Amino acid sequence: MKGRAALGWLVILVAATAALVGGGIWVLNTVKATFAPGLALGCTATVADAKYSLALDQAQNAALISTIAIQRGMPARAATIALATGMQESKLRNIDYGDLDSVGIFQQRPSQDWGTVEEIMDPVYSTNAFFDVLADVPNYVDLPINDAAQIVQRSGFPHAYAQHEKLSRAFASALTGQSPHALNCTLEPAATASTPDLVIAAAQTAVGHLTASTSEGEAGTTLQFEVNEAFGWMLAHWALANANQFGIVGIGHDGKAWDRNANADGHNVGWQPSGATTATQVTILLPAAAATG
């Protein structure tokens, strides 16, 4: 299968990772509890009073997959199918091993013309490769989630995707902006953060062209984005799913605000009422001691 355009994601995410590693704040999920005792680190999506959970790295990959679906003009159901597939194949982790020569989030095989190992290990490439095949499935939006996933994957376990449908629906609904203030994440305190320019560039890559401005205050640097109302919650939830990587400490949108440090009983309290933003504004707060990398 021919290489796909990376939509700008690879450069931004590689740069973000390099900046965080260079700043000394890239900490593995397996040791985060050491730095945040008593906190249940991770993200939840709550839809119709049902709550589903992912680890921080899983939620970040889920956000990437969901925003790519919307960028391609595909419906939220496409994101649901992709998330269910990723959960079954790799637990939504970009692993470099698998059955036979399978690698990546979707466990795609170089020997089956999905691309080279290097290409498949790029989550943007592998996600677009998945959606390229899904888009060619006739009436995939009308098929059961499991069946659509199986047509793309041709798995030896053809019914395994169904078990992830409810979780995938919840996260896809939140991360595509269909369910307002449905995503919440509990994080350790931010030691430092990415630069405003890096976060703005990543947000524009994820959601599309955005008008952004910055302002300085005692709490840090506020990034304000002017957005089409239809994409407001997608951007706000994207920022939340990536808050751990970028060091984001606050997000505001449409009369709601999320505060990284607002925790109770080991969990973040979630989105709270706030009159600071409208339906066409999203704000992201970076702490005062932002990194320059």
pLDDT at position 31: 39
Let me know if domain 9-175 sits in CATH 1.10.3470.
Answer: no
Q: Of 180, 101, 129, which Cα lies nearest the Cα of 6?
A: 129
C-beta separation of 234 from 164 below 8 A: no
- What pLDDT score was predicted for residue 209? 81
pLDDT at 1: 44
Of 90, 39, 36, 99, nearest in space to 62 by CA: 90
Instruction: Report the predicted TM-score, pTM, of the whole model to 2 decimal places.
Output: 0.87
Per-residue confidence of the chain (293 residues) as pLDDT tens digits?
434 444 444 434 434 444 433 443 333 343 344 456 689 999 999 999 999 999 999 999 999 999 999 999 999 999 999 999 999 999 999 999 999 999 999 999 999 999 999 999 999 999 999 999 999 999 999 999 999 999 999 999 999 999 999 999 999 999 999 999 999 999 999 988 999 999 999 999 999 889 999 999 999 999 999 999 999 999 999 999 999 999 999 999 999 999 999 999 999 999 999 999 999 999 999 998 644 44
191 DSSP assignment: S
Contact call for residues 196 and 286 (beta carbons, < 8 A): yes
**pLDDT of res. 36:** 62
Rounded distance between C-alpha atoms, residue 252 and residue 215, angstroms: 15
Residue 288 is given by DSSP the state T
Label the pairing between strands 267-268 and 263-264.
Answer: antiparallel
Question: And the tokens for 9?
Answer: 């994601």
Query: Cβ of 205: how many Cβ atoms within 10 Å?
Result: 20
What distance in Å separates the CA atoms of residue 127 and residue 124, rounded to the nearest whole number? 5
**Torsion, CA 274, CA 70, CA 45, CA 268, rounded to 10:** -40
Predicted local confidence at residue 5, as pLDDT: 40
Res 191: pLDDT: 85
Domain spans, the chain: 9-175, 192-287
> What whole-number distance in Å separates Cα of residue 225 and Cα of residue 2?
35
